[in-house]
Structure 1
Amino acid sequence: MEKISKSVSNLRSNFNILLLAAKDSQNNVLSATEAIGDLSSINQNTQFEEIVCVSYIPKNEVINAIVKIKQASGYGGNACSKGTFEYVRFYFDYDRNGNWVDEGVTNFNAHSLGFDEDLCYNVQLKIDPDKRRCCDKKPVLPKVRAILSWNAAPPANQPNWTPYWGNVIERNVQIEPLRGFQCFFDDFVLYPKFKKIDTILKKNNLLPDFKNISIKDQVEIIKKHKIPATRFGYASAIKKINSQDATPFALPGYLNQLDFDFSNILDFLLKPKFNTTYEELTCVALNRAMTTLHGTIHLKKSAGYSGNLCQTGSKEYVAFYMDFGSGWEYMGTSSITVHNISEIPKDGLNYNAALAVDLDKKRKEWCESGKAKLKGILSWNVAPPINQPNHVAHWGDWEQCHVEVKSLPKGIIPGNLSLNIETLGSMHIDDIDQTDGLANGSDALGLSMNAEESPFDGKINFTGSLINGGSTALEYRLVITPPSSGSYNLLNHVTADKIGFSGEETLIPDADGWMPYTKFVGNYLGYFIPTQSGMHTIKIEVRNAGSATLLLTGNSTNFMAHKEAPVADVEITSGAGNCGSFKPGDVISGEYKALSEYPRVMSFVATPSPESNSGVISIDGVPGNSISYNDIVAPGKTGTWELATNNMPQCGYNIRLSVYDRTIMHSKNITRHATDIEGFCLIPK
């Protein structure tokens, strides 16, 4: 663990103050921070955190990053606190020509846990790739840029932005191609419509099968790329040995056409040692939110993987082990399918193998985070034997890192059965005030959403996890109590990804709202769409599926629903008024209304740009084009505005008022707004 100097420690602990000062330097705020230091001295500082791996799961369109936390403190508080946030924003360059597409941002909260070891965290983001091609065409191999930033989210659509704390890395990934009759849609440029069909095909496991590589192609590739016998004959030899068949080794058909010396491969098998010529395991980590283990697999060659993207290919297996203090425990084995790709970039491709695990019995009480050592063993085309943590794979290697085992939710006793709602509308339950039902703080799912006394509307999602459920089949239901009527059971179908990234599953409630509990990715429980504003209550109930015995009544929480969109109204009252004509240089004035029960920000803008750029807007006599939440209270604001048109050329213009409220919409963002526009012309008179 790297030692931190006093000057760097001061910069870290006062980062928010310094960040504010840097943004407001024109008002001499910097004078108050001169004794602390200059933010420019910590550009891309990786002493506290560092993004070390980026990888992709083609089948499920999930981009992953592994972040290493490198200090025992410096993260805003212990496990009882909210800690601080580590943000990762992903950019994809699909054509590898410098045209970066912002695919979004995710985060996790880090804490000062006091551990001596580095800790490895996985974060992930599901994307909708911009490009896919048929498997027999040029593969889509984007370059991915990942930007890690502590306590300040990287701004959107700025791929060249660099963080103060954190770093930027680039890696290459492979987008899942189309196969078989899927290519019909690609050929006829119907891909946007095909996406919906593709989702149905994946959900119902109706994708075309891969083709087996022909003997002729296999031989040609082996000769062209000089693939050694220990590689192309490896799986066949292992299969023969494991069969315990004492008959002479029978070569597969294609091996008879090659100069194959079986004694060489026997010597290779008898003296195992890690070989990373073709693939290497570069990182392992735990995703706390999903309770999944992850391994980053780096492919280095264009061939040696038993088939192209239209063909079967081969498997990269990762066996995971964890040591909680009493020795290695086998957690399971995951795999991904890889292929020969002749266009592979020089620095290779990066894939992710994920495994869902149950760590409930290893979790301590609230506020007591634990740790474990994690090991992944990579083995090409032959699964590593189970319960052998020191297994040496002939093709592959192993990687280790410590991980944090998060504590149980507040109020849950170790060993007790629990199924609680943990997030509502993507916000932690603890961040929703039970008096007014409004949310505050950062979201729980890495969406970079920051609530400020925010109500909810749209599709309100609920997540929660079953703890210590054992093997008993359980059912649950969600009960809603709206503000003006009695309670009723939610009857919505619940569709989500399965944990383990193997497709979707849909739960259908019975007439009383009961559904079988199934662990989904993200622990998705259900959703509710309010039809009226006001305070609502949601609670969860659990019962034994066989006996229908109510086992417990889970937690309940209040939340405020807000259905009314904000109101925006702008009028030109000077001169010729709305749609009137003015002279360049005139000061145009008017009135406005920006109304909402939960206002966030209002802003004026003159369009089009750049013609309007020289105009100066004032609101209520103060220069500036926006007013933020801190200066607006319900039911909003009314007043006057002005636009000084000095140096604006002759043109037709609009003055646009936008009013945003603080409502969390569809569990995704805070975007609800209203606009109003009035036009005018600047012409000589």
Structure 2
Amino acid sequence: MTENSGRPDDSGDVVLTASRWQFRQLITANPNHFGTFPDLPFEVVEPMQGNTAYEEVQCVSYSPTRDRIEATINVKQTFGYSGGPCTSGSFEHLRFYVDYGSGWEDAGPAAIKVHDFAAGRDCPGDPLHPISYVASVKHTPHRRWCGTPVLPRVRVILSWNLPPTPGDPDFPPVWGDVHECHVQIAPRRFFFGDIIQYIPSKVLDTLPAKVIEQTPIPHPDPDPGPLMDLAELTTRYRQDDVPAHRFAFPQLMALSDTAGVGGQALASSALVAQASKLNLSEILKQLEDTKGDVDFEELECLGLDEGISSLVATFNVKKNSGYSGGPCTAGSKEYVAFWADWDDDCRYTYLGTVEVVVHDYDLPDGGLCYAAIQPIDLGALRRPCDKPRINRVRAVLSWGSPPSTTDPDKLPTWGNRIDRHVQVEPGPTYDGTAHFTIVGGVAANKVNLITGLTDPGATLGTSTVPLNPPLCPFAGQVTLQGPNDPTLAGHQYRIKATNLGGGGFHYLDTAFGVVDSNGNPGTVTPTPGTGWAPWPTWTSNTEGFLGVHTPGGNDQWDYTLELDVAGNTVDTARVQLDNLVRNEVDALDTVNAGDLWLDTAGACKVPKAELNARFVARDLHFSSWSLSLLGGPGGNPPQPPLHLPGNLPMLPTSSQTPLSGTDFTIDLTDPMLAPCGYVVRLTIVDRAIVNSVTQGQHATIDRGICLE
């Protein structure tokens, strides 16, 4: 095998080198092998960072309606991803950050599983590579009312086979890169506090406290604001040099495309145009000559987000004005139509059109990046791993008027069209069988039917990274999901929950929330007592939710899925619950315990010296412990060193202590520790899947000290 730097050789082809195929071994032996961890005491052997020969971020964007940050990456090569589609492959790791103006906030990680795929061509004869993947994270934004637009900057770090360090927005990837764009956050409702600074104090003194002290509702404002008419748009945009065939376009199209609009309405519109000194004949001629104009907005990326079973298109809004109004108006709509050639026969299937509202803003450099998200029933497309599915998909962006739903080749007036190739992950196909697909946020076949714990290699939710540590119990709410197989539509099902600890059984009849194929929320309410409910369809319940259960306690539970057919038991799942993490020592419990003792010798104040202490951190499904110092005059004190007696390093945080506890010392000699009150906090974390969404429930123990 030829080796070089991993860059293209003389022929322009990329050659697989040791720096790629031995990447994990190289950084295991020397974490600073490539010079990306200069603070570590290791020599640099092969300086390299930001190599995009194999993968590269194309876009990062945000969906204001779904509050998701989306990143699109291109996988460029046919090799270099640790194996074909029937192997474990490797991971493209991503970490997202958001900056609202006061520094980067860690928005969380995501990952994409990638494989080697042989070179090939699609029906039109285009190469299958690059393949476009999308990964995303849910984000809880900082909202303000529409009069104060929130346009933060988002960043994504892409790193192949090495997760970016949490909390490090400057992490330098070896294989991968970094991409940024500004995005727009949907505004919340206006509340009194938004203008309180402008109210004279003598007026404020007359207002009741409940008015002064009210807090804003953090949800998006459902009122889009007023729609600007043609006369207002003409006055507004003449001074901004927005051409008339741009700002008049939505209203002209709305009139011409609506069959029910009569002569009186058309005449009224013409009179308004005439009063505004607009030449409609000239505008219509200009529109006839305008096709695929991308001066104001442009579709840049398209890919498949397996985590949310959706195609995601990213478009860039480029100008300050020309979008039918500012942020406290109705603005205008960007429409994105999605198409796919699932059968590779050069025929597109229309999948749907997504609307995104846009406004005039004082744009930051680079404009604003928006994500349009179209859910897809991927379960109907899955195939075995030895028959990989890589398909051509298309998105068409059109401003002010929906694009065609019958002609995938029709260019819009304002907007553009792009094609990309995506990979649908392999998996079981719909076969008419009712069964559990997901239990407690984990694939049902990765939850052990004997122990009720997750098996090694299990992943949680949309993540493709195995749970670490593995062998996880469940806590809080356990959700149960099944396939949206259309052959099951019309059937009724129910779930029998049996407490294996001797608590009997009952049928799940708690109402639960679902999301339909348009992203709208809904509710399913099983029949009280008997638990019967209609089998979910993809259009009404895209994630196939079957039921929820929140029993509490630490017992094992069996869930039996029954269908309205003869011999109606069709599947069974078992979960081990563990809702307990102790923050005390119970003489009757030698397995779960937590305690923290500080040797203050009974003094009200302790000197700036080493403080003797002892802690206990134990749990049946233990994951980790941590010790931290809180408080002080600044609220963010430096963290003092912790040592075992004899000034030895502390135990690994992944190790439990004996029930009798572990002695250690806290070094309080740091001159940055001002005389003040502090809290020493012990946090104990287990490895339970909590509410089917996150890993790790915790308990904390606080002990206060007053430092001289």
TM-score bucket of the superposed structures, by smaller chain: 0.7 to 0.9
Alignment of 1:240-639 (within 5 A): 250=267, 251-271=269-289, 273-324=291-342, 325-365=344-384, 368-409=387-428, 414=429, 416-439=431-454, 440-441=456-457, 442-446=459-463, 450-469=468-487, 472-485=489-502, 486-501=504-519, 503-511=520-528, 512-516=530-534, 517-519=536-538, 520=541, 522-543=543-564, 549=565, 553-566=569-582, 567-571=593-597, 577=601, 589=612, 591-604=614-627, 617-619=642-644, 623-629=648-654, 631-632=655-656, 638-639=661-662
User: Aligned to 1:217, what secondary structure does the other structure show?
Assistant: helix
* Bigger Cα displacement from structure 2, 649-658 vs 553-562: 649-658
Q: Hey, what's the Cα distance between the residues in 2 that align with 1:39 and 1:659?
A: 39
Q: Alpha carbons of 1:265 and 1:509: their partners in 2 closer, same or farther (altered >3 Å)?
A: same
* Bigger Cα displacement from structure 2, 357-366 vs 373-382: 357-366
User: Aligned to 1:383, what secondary structure does the other structure show?
Assistant: coil
Counterpart of 1:546 in structure 2 is none
Amino acid at match of 2:472: S
Query: Per-residue deviation at 1:75?
Result: 3.1
Counterpart of 1:125 in structure 2 is 137
Q: Alpha carbons of 1:312 and 1:608: their partners in 2 closer, same or farther (altered >3 Å)?
A: closer
Q: Alpha carbons of 1:235 and 1:437: their partners in 2 closer, same or farther (altered >3 Å)?
A: same
User: Aligned to 1:454, what secondary structure does the other structure show?
Assistant: coil
Counterpart of 1:16 in structure 2 is 24
Q: Hey, what's the Cα distance between the residues in 2 that align with 1:242 and 1:646?
A: 76
Counterpart of 2:163 in structure 1 is 153
Q: Hey, what's the Cα distance between the residues in 2 that align with 1:443 and 1:568?
A: 27
Amino acid at match of 1:627: P
* Bigger Cα displacement from structure 2, 337-346 vs 52-61: 337-346
Question: Per-residue CA shift, 1:187-235, capped at 9, x if unaligned?
Answer: 5698985437x48xx8xxxx33531214442111231122223323434
Q: Alpha carbons of 1:74 and 1:628: their partners in 2 closer, same or farther (altered >3 Å)?
A: farther
Q: Alpha carbons of 1:528 and 1:47: their partners in 2 closer, same or farther (altered >3 Å)?
A: farther
User: Aligned to 1:289, what secondary structure does the other structure show?
Assistant: helix
Counterpart of 2:205 in structure 1 is none
Counterpart of 1:164 in structure 2 is 174
Q: Hey, what's the Cα distance between the residues in 2 that align with 1:379 and 1:655?
A: 57
Contact 2:143 2:188 in 1 (8 A): no
Q: Alpha carbons of 1:612 and 1:475: their partners in 2 closer, same or farther (altered >3 Å)?
A: same
Counterpart of 2:698 in structure 1 is 673
Q: Alpha carbons of 1:45 and 1:510: their partners in 2 closer, same or farther (altered >3 Å)?
A: same
Question: Per-residue CA shift, 1:428-472, capped at 9, x if unaligned?
Answer: 3343333322224442323976342221111223344313447x3
Counterpart of 1:74 in structure 2 is 80
Q: Hey, what's the Cα distance between the residues in 2 that align with 1:612 and 1:301?
A: 45
Contact 1:86 1:109 in 2 (8 A): yes
Contact 2:478 2:548 in 1 (8 A): yes
Query: Per-residue deviation at 1:603?
Result: 4.2
User: Aligned to 2:422, what secondary structure does the other structure show?
Assistant: strand
Q: Hey, what's the Cα distance between the residues in 2 that align with 1:191 and 1:155?
A: 40
Amino acid at match of 2:143: K
Query: Per-residue deviation at 1:372?
Result: 0.7
- Is 1:105 matched up with 2:120? no
Q: Hey, what's the Cα distance between the residues in 2 that align with 1:605 and 1:143?
A: 31
Long gaps (5+) in structure 2: 1-5, 120-127, 197-210, 583-592
Larger proportion of strand: 1
Counterpart of 2:588 in structure 1 is none
Q: Alpha carbons of 1:323 and 1:420: their partners in 2 closer, same or farther (altered >3 Å)?
A: same
Q: Alpha carbons of 1:156 and 1:132: their partners in 2 closer, same or farther (altered >3 Å)?
A: farther
Cα RMSD between the aligned structures?
4.0
Q: Alpha carbons of 1:192 and 1:18: their partners in 2 closer, same or farther (altered >3 Å)?
A: farther
Q: Hey, what's the Cα distance between the residues in 2 that align with 1:303 and 1:656?
A: 52
Question: Per-residue CA shift, 1:515-562, capped at 9, x if unaligned?
Answer: 33254454444332233323322343444xxxxx46975543322211
Q: Hey, what's the Cα distance between the residues in 1 that align with 2:598 and 2:247?
A: 77
Identity of aligned residues (%): 25
Amino acid at match of 1:596: D
Q: Alpha carbons of 1:264 and 1:12: their partners in 2 closer, same or farther (altered >3 Å)?
A: same
Q: Alpha carbons of 1:268 and 1:93: their partners in 2 closer, same or farther (altered >3 Å)?
A: same
Q: Hey, what's the Cα distance between the residues in 2 that align with 1:60 and 1:571?
A: 46
Query: Per-residue deviation at 1:67?
Result: 1.9
Q: Hey, what's the Cα distance between the residues in 2 that align with 1:46 and 1:282?
A: 19
Question: Per-residue CA shift, 1:218-274, capped at 9, x if unaligned?
Answer: 111231122223323434555566579999985544321344444444444544532
* Bigger Cα displacement from structure 2, 669-678 vs 323-332: 669-678
| TM superposition score normalised by structure 1 | 0.82
Q: Hey, what's the Cα distance between the residues in 2 that align with 1:59 and 1:191?
A: 29
Query: Per-residue deviation at 1:353?
Result: 1.9
| TM superposition score normalised by structure 2 | 0.79
User: Aligned to 1:177, what secondary structure does the other structure show?
Assistant: coil
Amino acid at match of 1:424: V
Q: Hey, what's the Cα distance between the residues in 2 that align with 1:378 and 1:185?
A: 38
User: Aligned to 1:390, what secondary structure does the other structure show?
Assistant: coil
Contact 1:354 1:500 in 2 (8 A): no
Contact 2:640 2:670 in 1 (8 A): yes
Contact 1:106 1:124 in 2 (8 A): yes
Amino acid at match of 1:295: A
Residue 195 (structure 1) aligned to one of 196, 217, 221: 217
Counterpart of 1:48 in structure 2 is 54
* Bigger Cα displacement from structure 2, 335-344 vs 388-397: 335-344
Query: Per-residue deviation at 1:52?
Result: 1.1
Counterpart of 1:62 in structure 2 is 68
Query: Per-residue deviation at 1:6?
Result: 8.7
Q: Alpha carbons of 1:393 and 1:465: their partners in 2 closer, same or farther (altered >3 Å)?
A: same
User: Aligned to 1:335, what secondary structure does the other structure show?
Assistant: strand
Q: Alpha carbons of 1:252 and 1:138: their partners in 2 closer, same or farther (altered >3 Å)?
A: farther
Long gaps (5+) in structure 1: 544-548
* Bigger Cα displacement from structure 2, 643-652 vs 373-382: 643-652
Q: Alpha carbons of 1:518 and 1:505: their partners in 2 closer, same or farther (altered >3 Å)?
A: farther
